[in-house]
A and B are shown apart, each in its own frame.
Chain A
Amino acid sequence: MLCKPIFSVDIHPDGTKFATGGQGEDSGKVMIWNMAPVLREEDEKNENIPKMLCQMDNHLACVNCVRWSNNGLYLASGGDDKLVMVWRRAAFIGPSTVFGSSSKLANVEQWRCVTILRNHTGDVMDVAWSPHDVWLASCSVDNTIVIWNARKFPEMVTTLRGHTGLVKGLTWDPVGKYIASQADDHSLKVWRTVDWQMEANITKPFSECGGTTHVLRLSWSPDGQYLVSAHAMNNSGPTAQIVERDGWKTNMDFVGHRKAVTVVKFNPKIFKKKQKNGSSPKPSCPYCCCAVGSKDRSLSVWLTSLKRPLVVIHDLFDKSIMDISWTLTGLGMLVCSMDGTVAYLDFSLDELGDPLNEEEKNSIHQNIYGKSLAITSTEAQLSTTIIENPEVLKYQQERQNSAQANSGPGGAAPESSAPKLNSVMNGESLEDIRKNLLKKQVETRTADGRRRITPLCIAQLDTGDFSPALFNSVPILPSGSSMSSQLTPQLSSDSSPGQASSMGLKPTHDPMLTSPPPNNTAKPLEDNNDGVKSSLLLTSASKIEPMKALDSRFTERSKATPGVTAAISSTAGLTPLDRPKDGVTAQKEAKTKEETSSDSEDKMAAINKNLTFGKRKPELLLDGGEVVEKRKKGRPRKDKMAASMAQPFTQPSKVVAPPAPVAVLKLPTPSTQKAFSLQVSMEPSVFLEVENEVSMVAGSKLSQLRCSRDGRDWNTLLPSSVVVAAGSSDILAVACEDRMLSVFSSCGRRLLPAIQLGTPASALHCSAHYVMVLTAGATLSVWDVQKQKALVKNESLLTILSGADTTVSQSLLTQQGVPVIGLSNGKSYCFSSSLETWTLIADKSDSLVQCADFRSCLPSHDTPASSGPLAVMQGRNLNNIKCNKETQEYRYWLLIYARFLVNEGSEYRLRELCKELLGPVHKSAATSWEPTTLGLRKRELLREVLPVIGENLRFQRLFTEYQDQLELLRNK
């Protein structure tokens, strides 16, 4: 078989196109195809309807997986070149002609790579978008799974380590709570998304498995109840193992394939039995539908309501099935194979049943999980809802705008703000520029006398009018990505070869898809012009022989470059020069050349693989993560050494402090810098500059502290190097290496006598007129400088530092002088001076927090910039905030809470919130309603909450109701 394998297929969520990934000519290949010609014969025959929309050969090696994001805006591809690429469609500029090739080969759609995700050290085998496109997961033969922040590529969220073999498949729980992976290490692992730790490790059904499949694409059922693995074994027969969500039980499997199962794919729809006319409408249990593809070249489709498969199609392909994709309607399916073909199957409602609509599906989820990520905002239905209130319309539009601005990757990319093409060109047309380019371009000479040209930038990236259509890069559509089409399974025998080729998806037969077919005698008309020229060229017939020699010159890399083996020239598309006589032979020659070199390449690759395996082994024994762990631990130890300074080998420049009392130093201390500066306050603007060891007086080094407040400076000298400094608009504090803490007013007056700390300072904070010190000995002190009083006195953190590994990840001081400590275990505490105890304010691992998905409601762009100190902690409960006396915090979290309720669709709770904020419209003595909370007027708060409510059309009535009442009250 000439065809290059197709490893992956995925149908776009809108069903109009699909992507394939696989091996191209010496590169990986991603192609986007039009769905219509696959679905309808008349579209297939219509030459005006393009079949191929875009091809991208940017992957350097075979593409193992292509996946559309759920919103359909992005395509992710992962390949043997260790990369994950994320593609986005560039603004439509019409089919672009590729330079030097016939216009028919142009990419109809322009997809360009917006992000390259580099982290894997081995082939990327599978990629998967999480529900709602929050994350993108990729797995690799480097035994890891990487979770990428899909809202902020190329940011990595985490790496999941634990597999000891090549990870070959990934699937997200539709509820968003888990991700499951299957690997060659005879295991299927389920990971929690809340803390990215392993939830379950299922090994038993895989103990007999050999690593014989290229991929292990497992799948999670749309109701979230079942996870079905690829290749598993039961009584030495290949199966697809069913894993129940409840307890991860493995009692059932799909049996019958003769060879290993490579791919399992659940239909996205949940079905219920079709009600036959006349029969009594008795309620039947909803069921799921699952397709299983195997190395035995056959495909089986199962309904969870049936004990036997719905249909089995044998010998669908010549080689192993590699991937399956269902249409979103649940009635169509594309299957791709190693043999380089893709088959389309469609089903009728009679066969599968009635698909539940989104509302019904949501209610199933609601019943099982309460609220889950899988619950889709039923915008499809809501889009038909009439907007009754102009205000609501406004908020809807705002929401859409911001959604567009923030949606997914690239949205946040800096290039997105790049100026448009014409602004770059200063109004000059490209033609004008080209006319004068030679004169205008800047040419200089380098130091060694070489010419250096500064190229003229004619467009910045992502101006939208870019085309990935590469110079001459639509090469021969060789065997690589051909497709045959087989219609419904029942009709599969009908799919005569004639039909398949008339589909035009078999390149060797179709001029639409192939670039000049080698055996094509009819030359395209466009070539006529060249024909004239080439006949000119051919005037001296004797030159034909040397032409062959010349041909090789096109492809041989210059000698100067080391490490280059022969480059392969493409064989099809012979030039007019060598076609007449030597065409055929040249072609043959080249072909054999190609084969041999690709052979050697294979060998090379094999060797590489062996090498990488060899490399991996020791790591495997060491268990990778441990090494990193050690490094991390190494750091504090160093600090400890530096801090105690008893060792003779500490840096000689350091001032020897009075020997520190022997204390267990729990917290790391910052290392001393030569100089640093920081802005401690914006309004008024106060800058602090520290320069250590500026001068030497009587053998001791002095450090200088300089402060500039609204342009006025003062400075002072300190006898020891400053380690940490902090300040607020009122006060400044510095802690030195000699464990002295000095506090100054912002004008440079010493406010407190120098305070001797027990252990070196680990963190120092100032806020208003409060100073907080966290010492390396894990004690906390807070002073009120104004009242010259200690609020917290050497309070030990040991009570909250439970467990050996817990460390302080964050600390801060509120404007009210309340110290807040965030720990690495996700808990946050504040020390209440009135209760004289630590109070828990947030706990990441709290089961309540785990269940609550309010985190998804956090406006992503707000979180990092949020001014509220608690925003960086995991606040949980409004009451906590109240007890922290933080008015801004309260407001912030109230809005988050409202957004959460809006997203959740909980009208009942929203109404209660609004009611509480609005209070009684008519004054009555009986109410105990307080018009303010924490000094904030509740009705003002309601005014802020309402726009949030207005964003969800579902609540437009509620919005109107409260909007009107607020208006009413204002007019009173």
Chain B
Amino acid sequence: MAKVQVLNVAVLDNPSPFGNPFQFEITFECMEDLPEDLEWKIIYVGSAESEEYDQVLDSVLVGPVPAGRHMFVFQADAPNTGLIPESDAVGVTVVLITCTYRGQEFIRIGYYVNNEYTDPELRENPPLKPDYSQLQRNILASNPRVTRFHINWEGLADKMEDSENVDPSPNISGMFPPSCIPGKMPHLGVMPDNSMDCISTSAM
């Protein structure tokens, strides 16, 4: 089971001007002392059309994490407006908070974000080139979308344990989907029995 459970995310400074930093107060609970840090990221989706406009606003390491309930505020600068397609500046998009452990993402919390002009004049007749100074960012804080992924929390120890149970015949290694091996991450999370799992919920 997941060693880290996110208990709450409070969206601070919301709504706020577009240029203000994002602030999320995250409360999570950890079952056991974690030998390694958690890595949290805030990803701003610049355009629904393509992931290439995604911006990682910031990533922080959080640690050490002993067993217990913990809290921190994750603050990240507003997105770089230069990387947002002009047509997508106003309207609804998404901001994501992800957390990874040992390079494996185990939770993804998404919020809808609405960017709007506060001035009714501008709202009626939005300028062709978005005026970010006039835009207000409103995060739909009441409706987080949470997706959980099953990962391998144990890291190497688990892997060794598993490999002990594996028949040493070479064809067993073919068990790993070949696509999983490349990449900078150790293929810890890819034992077939836990390669995929998620709980996704939404609430209103």
Contact indicator B140/A470 (Cβ below 8 Å): no
Chain B residues near A534: list those with CB within 8 A: 140
Known: A537-B140, A554-B94, A577-B112. A437 touches B8 (CB 8 A): no
Chain A residues near B197: list those with CB within 8 A: 26-27, 60
Chain A residues near B84: list those with CB within 8 A: none
Residue of A25, A99, A555 near B144 (CB, 8 A) is A99
Chain B residues near A113: list those with CB within 8 A: 1, 31
Chain A residues near B200: list those with CB within 8 A: 25-26, 475, 554-555, 567-570
Residue of B23, B185, B195, B199 near A57 (CB, 8 A) is B199
Chain B residues near A561: list those with CB within 8 A: 100, 103-105, 149, 185, 189
Residue of B nearest to A28 (CB): B1
Residue of A nearest to B146 (CB): A472
Chain A residues near B55: list those with CB within 8 A: none
Residue of B59, B74, B192 near A607 (CB, 8 A) is B192
How far in angstroms is the closest Cβ of chain A from B83? 16
How far in angstroms is the closest Cβ of chain B from A420? 13
How far apart are the CA atoms of A536 and B91 in the complex, in Å?
A: 10
Interface flag for A516 (CB, 8 Å): yes
Contact indicator A433/B71 (Cβ below 8 Å): yes
How far apart are the CA atoms of A433 and B165 in the complex, in Å?
A: 48
How far apart are the CA atoms of A443 and B73 in the complex, in Å?
A: 10
Chain B residues near A451: list those with CB within 8 A: 58-61
Chain B residues near A24: list those with CB within 8 A: 199
Interface residues of A in 24-53 (CB under 8 A from B): 24-27
Listed residue (A58, A476, A523, A537) with the most chain B CB atoms within 10 angstroms of its CB: A537
Residue of A25, A60, A105, A546 near B150 (CB, 8 A) is A60
How far apart are the CA atoms of A555 and B193 in the complex, in Å?
A: 20
Chain A residues near B103: list those with CB within 8 A: 560-561
Interface residues of B in 82-114 (CB under 8 A from A): 90-94, 96, 98, 100, 103-105, 108-110, 112, 114
Residue of B nearest to A527 (CB): B204
Contact indicator A473/B114 (Cβ below 8 Å): no
Interface flag for A563 (CB, 8 Å): yes
Chain B residues near A560: list those with CB within 8 A: 100, 103, 105, 183, 185
Contact indicator A473/B29 (Cβ below 8 Å): no
How far apart are the CA atoms of A313 and B190 in the complex, in Å?
A: 47
Contact indicator A537/B149 (Cβ below 8 Å): no
Contact indicator B61/A458 (Cβ below 8 Å): no
Contact indicator B198/A555 (Cβ below 8 Å): yes
Contact indicator A472/B58 (Cβ below 8 Å): no
Interface flag for A674 (CB, 8 Å): no
Per-residue contact bits, chain A 42-75, to B (CB 8 Å; 1 contact, 0 not) = 0000000000000001111000000000000000
Per-residue contact bits, chain A 511-547, to B (CB 8 Å; 1 contact, 0 not) = 0000110000001100101100110110110010011
Contact indicator A568/B198 (Cβ below 8 Å): yes
Chain B residues near A467: list those with CB within 8 A: 7
Contact indicator B48/A121 (Cβ below 8 Å): no
Interface flag for B134 (CB, 8 Å): no
How far apart are the CA atoms of A461 and B81 in the complex, in Å?
A: 43
Contact indicator A460/B63 (Cβ below 8 Å): no
Per-residue contact bits, chain B 166-179, to A (CB 8 Å; 1 contact, 0 not) = 11000010010101
Interface flag for A804 (CB, 8 Å): no
Per-residue contact bits, chain A 928-941, to B (CB 8 Å; 1 contact, 0 not) = 00000000000000
Interface flag for A380 (CB, 8 Å): no
Per-residue contact bits, chain B 158-169, to A (CB 8 Å; 1 contact, 0 not) = 000000011100
How far apart are the CA atoms of A25 and B197 in the complex, in Å?
A: 10
Contact indicator A537/B192 (Cβ below 8 Å): no
How far apart are the CA atoms of A438 and B140 in the complex, in Å?
A: 22
Interface flag for A573 (CB, 8 Å): yes
Which of the segments A225-233, A387-395, A608-616 contacts the partner chain? A608-616
How far apart are the CA atoms of A892 and B157 in the complex, in Å?
A: 43
Interface residues of B in 65-88 (CB under 8 A from A): 65-75
Chain A residues near B64: list those with CB within 8 A: 454
How far in angstroms is the closest Cβ of chain B from A562? 4
How far in angstroms is the closest Cβ of chain B from A542? 8
Interface flag for B121 (CB, 8 Å): no
How far in angstroms is the closest Cβ of chain A from B92? 5
Interface flag for B122 (CB, 8 Å): no
Contact indicator A101/B199 (Cβ below 8 Å): no
Chain A residues near B198: list those with CB within 8 A: 26, 555, 567-568
How far apart are the CA atoms of A554 and B147 in the complex, in Å?
A: 7
Contact indicator A563/B1 (Cβ below 8 Å): no
Per-residue contact bits, chain A 588-630, to B (CB 8 Å; 1 contact, 0 not) = 0000000000000100110110010011001000000000000
Interface flag for B156 (CB, 8 Å): no
Chain B residues near A157: list those with CB within 8 A: none
How far in angstroms is the closest Cβ of chain A from B59? 7
Interface flag for A558 (CB, 8 Å): yes
Contact indicator B96/A554 (Cβ below 8 Å): yes
Interface flag for A441 (CB, 8 Å): yes
How far apart are the CA atoms of A534 and B45 in the complex, in Å?
A: 19
Chain A residues near B144: list those with CB within 8 A: 99-100, 471-472
Chain B residues near A608: list those with CB within 8 A: 192-193
Interface flag for B131 (CB, 8 Å): no
Known: A471-B7, A550-B93. A557 touches B108 (CB 8 A): yes
Interface flag for A553 (CB, 8 Å): yes
How far apart are the CA atoms of A374 and B33 in the complex, in Å?
A: 40
Chain A residues near B179: list those with CB within 8 A: 562-563
Chain B residues near A457: list those with CB within 8 A: 66, 68-70
Interface residues of B in 45-62 (CB under 8 A from A): 45, 48-49, 51, 58-62
Chain B residues near A454: list those with CB within 8 A: 62-64, 72
Interface flag for B119 (CB, 8 Å): no
Interface flag for A575 (CB, 8 Å): yes
Known: A60-B194, A101-B203, A563-B187. A543 touches B60 (CB 8 A): no
Contact indicator B61/A453 (Cβ below 8 Å): yes
Chain A residues near B66: list those with CB within 8 A: 457
How far apart are the CA atoms of A452 and B39 in the complex, in Å?
A: 9
Interface flag for A778 (CB, 8 Å): no
Chain B residues near A530: list those with CB within 8 A: 140, 142-143, 204
Contact indicator B69/A58 (Cβ below 8 Å): no
Per-residue contact bits, chain A 426-452, to B (CB 8 Å; 1 contact, 0 not) = 000000011001100101001000111
Residue of B7, B149, B165, B181 near A564 (CB, 8 A) is B149
Chain A residues near B65: list those with CB within 8 A: 455
Contact indicator A58/B2 (Cβ below 8 Å): yes
How far apart are the CA atoms of A122 and B74 in the complex, in Å?
A: 39
How far in angstroms is the closest Cβ of chain B from A96? 10
Contact indicator B93/A576 (Cβ below 8 Å): no
Chain A residues near B1: list those with CB within 8 A: 58-60, 81, 83, 85, 113, 116
Residue of A nearest to B96 (CB): A553
Chain B residues near A446: list those with CB within 8 A: 61
How far apart are the CA atoms of A605 and B193 in the complex, in Å?
A: 7
Residue of B51, B71, B195 near A565 (CB, 8 A) is B195
Chain A residues near B12: list those with CB within 8 A: 438
Listed residue (B37, B165, B197) with the most chain A CB atoms within 10 angstroms of its CB: B197
Known: A113-B31, A530-B142, A570-B201. A450 touches B59 (CB 8 A): yes
Interface flag for A466 (CB, 8 Å): yes
A to B CB contacts below 8 Å, 13 in the list: A81-B1, A99-B8, A113-B31, A453-B72, A457-B68, A473-B146, A475-B200, A527-B204, A543-B92, A555-B145, A563-B180, A565-B196, A577-B92
Which 9 A/B pairs are nearest by Cβ-Cβ distance? Answer: A563-B190, A546-B48, A101-B203, A455-B70, A563-B180, A475-B201, A554-B110, A567-B198, A554-B145
Not counting A81-B1, A453-B60, A472-B146, a sample of 9 additional A-B residue pairs whose C-beta atoms are within 8 angstroms of each other reads: A60-B1, A457-B70, A458-B27, A458-B71, A466-B29, A474-B201, A562-B182, A562-B185, A567-B198
Interface residues of B (CB under 8 A from A): 1-2, 5-10, 12, 23, 25, 27-29, 31, 37, 41, 43, 45, 48-49, 51, 58-75, 90-94, 96, 98, 100, 103-105, 108-110, 112, 114, 116, 138, 140, 142-147, 149-150, 165-167, 172, 175, 177, 179-183, 185, 187, 189-190, 192-204
